Amino acid sequence: DQQVKQNSPSLSVQEGRISILNCDYTNSMFDYFLWYKKYPAEGPTFLISISSIKDKNEDGRFTVFLNKSAKHLSLHIVPSQPGDSAVYFCAAVPSGSARQLTFGSGTQLTVLP
Amino acid sequence: EPEVTQTPSHQVTQMGQEVILRCVPISNHLYFYWYRQILGQKVEFLVSFYNNEISEKSEIFDDQFSVERPDGSNFTLKIRSTKLEDSAMYFCASNLGGGQFFGPGTRLTVL
């Protein structure tokens, strides 16, 4: 049951350009969404989150957009840097839960110098 | 910057043996979690823990699994009788609310 989907397993972007990572969800009970970055042999690193009462949240080079009607969120990284190369996971939390995360399958971002 | 730590980084065990994976969450956090990631698969929720008791657990977290917060700093995951399919990366996480902060993981290999 894939409640959170990342349909692009990989993405390559030139350094300095925008990276756009996409995520779709099916569970309308999700009310909080997060993006994590993961390097090999490390744990996921929290990047940015957004509550369902908002449609945009920005933190430095990272912006998350939420379209509730489409059940879609995206992460924009501008400008992309080679150090951003990692696997990016979106995750979602249902309302009323003990905040367990449901993860997508991840997108491998490669930023080319 | 405070961080979640986990030990050991790699644990190798024989099938049927008990293992204990250890975590030290960030000190002022109140919620604690265990997740696992089987090679090539998604990160999956196992259990959440708050106020010294399990808040929620997934179907994966069966009677072979248990968690404990034996003192004010450690949070442990015990697998009583390991199976081959328990081989995975196990991640501990903690938070106050909002984003969960993950440890580096323990790679468990069951032979």
Domain region containing B59: 15-96
Shortest distance between the Cα of B16 and any Cα of chain A, in A, equals 26
Shortest distance between the Cα of A6 and any Cα of chain B, in A, equals 11
Does the pLDDT of residue A68 top 70, yes or no? yes
CA proximity to A40, closest of A103, A87, A101: A87
The domain tally of chain A equals 1
| Radius of gyration of the CA atoms of chain B, in A | 13
- pLDDT of amino acid B97: 77
The domain tally of chain B equals 1
Cβ(A101)–Cβ(A85) under 8 Å? no
Per CB-CB distance under 8 Å, the chain B contacts of A103 are 42-44
The reply to whether residue A36 touches residue B95, judged by beta carbons under 8 angstroms, is no
Query: In this structure, what CATH number is given to the domain that contains residue A26?
Result: 2.60.40.10
Cβ(B89)–Cβ(B77) under 8 Å? no
Query: In this structure, what CATH number is given to the domain that contains residue B34?
Result: 2.60.40.10
Per CB-CB distance under 8 Å, the chain A contacts of B23 are none
Shortest distance between the Cα of B9 and any Cα of chain A, in A, equals 9
Question: Which tokens in the block code for residue A11?
Answer: 């993405």
Distance CA B63, CA B44 (A): 17
Is A1 at the interface with chain B, CB within 8 A? no
The reply to whether residue B42 touches residue A98, judged by beta carbons under 8 angstroms, is no
- pLDDT of amino acid A1: 62
Q: pLDDT tens, B39-66?
A: 988 999 999 999 899 999 999 999 999 9
DSSP tag of A43: -
Position B45 in a domain: yes
The reply to whether residue B98 touches residue A104, judged by beta carbons under 8 angstroms, is no
Does the pLDDT of residue A97 top 70, yes or no? no
Q: Cβ contacts of residue B94 below 8 Å, gap of 6+?
A: B4, B25, B26, B29, B31, B32, B33, B75, B100, B101
Helix (H) or strand (E) holding A64: strand A62-67
Position B8 in a domain: no
